[in-house]
Amino acid sequence: MNNTFEENLKKLEQLTTDIKRSDISLEDALKDFEEGIKLASGMEKQLDEIEGKIQILMNEPAPMTKENPPQFELFNDDGEVNGTRK
């Protein structure tokens, strides 16, 4: 089951709260700690994937819109593109 990042964060916060309880047994605290470490590791991978997607989106050219028209100055009147004949 793949949880969302937000669901995993909420679970990690709950584990952290449970570990801090004064009435928790050492065994239960250790179990919660291990689960929290695994969860944090998975969340780190999720963040890396999100960061990669953001980098791709940031490097994509902006879509052509009225505010971002195509750049025709690359083409000369004589059919050359950047000084190269087509």
> Which has the higher per-residue pLDDT, 84 or 31?
31
CA angle 9/14/15 to nearest 5° reads 95
pLDDT of 47-79, one tens digit each? 999 999 998 888 877 666 777 666 666 555 555
In contact, 85 and 79? CB cutoff 8 Å: yes
42 vs 82: CA distance, rounded Å: 47
In the prediction, which pLDDT does 79 show?
53
Predicted confidence band of residue 86 (pLDDT cuts 50, 70, 90): very low
Distance, CA of 60 to CA of 18 (rounded, Å):
44
What global pTM score does this model have? 0.59
Say what the alpha-carbon torsion angle 39, 44, 46, 52 is, to the nearest 10 degrees.
-170
| Lowest-pLDDT range of 6-10, 24-28, 66-70 | 66-70
